[in-house]
Amino acid sequence: MRLPLIRFGSGFAALALLAGASPAVAIEELSPATSDAMAQAAPPQAVAEYRRKLREYQEARAAFDEEAGAYWASISEKRKVRNAKRRDRQAITIDDYVLTQAPLYEGPKKPVNPEPEEDKPGRERKPLPVVADFLKAAAEQFQFSPQRASEIEFKRAYARYAIASGLTKEQAVRVYSFETGGNGNYDMQSGLSSKPGSRAISTAIGYNQLLTTNSVELMAEQGHELIKELAAKAAASSGAQRKAMDHKLAVLKKMVAFAKSVPDTWSEHEKLANTPQGWAVHAAVLDIDIGPMLQTHKLLTSVHFARAKGYNRPLSAAELEMMNLTGDGTGLDMVTMPQAMRERVPTSNFFQRGGYERNPVAIRHNTVAKLLAVTDERMDFNSGKPGAKELASVF
C-alpha cells in the first residue's frame, strides 16, 4: 500500500522563540566563559531593538498561522469528502476542491538575537545509508551479492522487462529523464555524484528512484510475480549459471517472506526498511535480474491502480510521474481531472501543509495544469541527454 504524498513530507517546523538575558555575576573572579560573555554583551539599544522586532515577528507569524491553519483544515476536509465520494462511486466536481491558493508567509523575518545564547546541543542526524551499506547488509543478512552489470546491459534488461510488462517506451524513458535528470545510472543514489562533497539526500536508487521502503513494499506486494519470473529464468539456465540462479531465487524468496512478515501498510514497511534486513532487500535493486523487475513494478503498480479504478486511457509520462511522486491515490485524483478543472484547481489540494511550504515547484506552478506542464517540460529537456538517449535506443 503506497503512502499518499510520499515524496513531499508532512511536518511543519515549530518556531523557537529565543530570549536572551545578560548573565548575573556574583563572584569576584570571573571565569573565562563569563568574561567572554560579558565582552560579547550587546548594547542595551540593540537588545531593545531586537526585542521589538521579535514581538513584531511573533505577532505577524501568529496571524499567519491562524490564517494558514484554517486554510489547511479546509484542504483536509475537502480531501475527506472526495475520498468518501470515490468510495461511493459518486462524481467529483470542482466544488470538492479548495479553489484559493495557499497563504504564504510574507511578514518580517525572525530577528537575530544580538546577545550571546547558551549553546544547545543540536539533534543528531543519523547518516543515510548508501550503496556500500546496502551491499554489506545483503552479504551479512542474506549471504547475497547482487549480480552487477554494465550500464548498457542493465538498460537492455530494463527495457525488455518494461515492454513485456506493458509499459511504453515513452513512459519509461520520460520518467527516467525526470527522475534522474536524463543521465542517471542504475546504481545512482539521490544526491550523490562525482562532485567532491556530495552526499546522499535520500535512499532513492536507480532509474525510477526507489526508496528502501519502496523496495520492501514491492517485495511484499509483487513478490509472487518476481519469484515466478526469476524461477522461469533459473529453469532456462544450466551449469554454473543455474547454480547461481537457484541461490538468487532462494534469497529472493527469503526477502519476500521478510517483506510479507508485517501488515501491508507503508508505515510497517518503512519500519522494516530501516533495519539491516531492509537495507539488504534494497540491494536487490542493483541486481541485473531482480533490479529491472523492481524498477518496472514501481511504475506498473500505478498503471494497474488506475485501471482498477476504471481509468483505462493510457497514462502520459507526466501523469504517471504524478502518481509515482505523490502516491497512487493522490496522483489519480489529478490524472482523472478534466483539463478545465486542472486549470483552476490549486496544487495545494494534493499536499500536506509542511510539504507544500517546502516545495517551491508546487508553489510556483500552483495549479494542476501548470504542475503537469512543467513536468512535461523537464522531461522534454532531459530526454535529450546521453543517458536518456541510450535508454531510448535499447527499446
Residue 134 CB burial class (10 angstroms; 0-12, 13-18, ≥19): buried
The one-letter amino acid code at 300 reads L
pLDDT in tens, 15-25: 222 222 333 33
The pTM (predicted TM-score) of the whole model is 0.81
**Range 128-143 average pLDDT:** 97
Amino acid at 213: T
Residue that the C-alpha cell 547558551 belongs to: 118
Share of the chain above pLDDT 90, in %: 72
Please say whether the dihedral angle defined by the alpha carbons of residues 248, 250, 256 and 262, taken in this order, is positive or negative: negative
Instruction: Find the mean pLDDT for residues 65-92.
Output: 93
What's the CA angle centered on 364, arms 358 and 369, to 5 degrees?
A: 115
**pLDDT greater than 70 at residue 38:** no
Model confidence pLDDT, tens digit, residues 246-295: 999 999 999 999 999 999 999 999 999 999 999 999 999 999 999 999 99
Q: What is the mean pLDDT of residues 136-165?
A: 97
pLDDT at 391 over 50: yes
- pLDDT over 70, % of the chain: 87
The string of pLDDT tens digits covering residues 236-249 is 999 999 999 999 99
Does residue 174 or residue 4 have the better pLDDT? 174
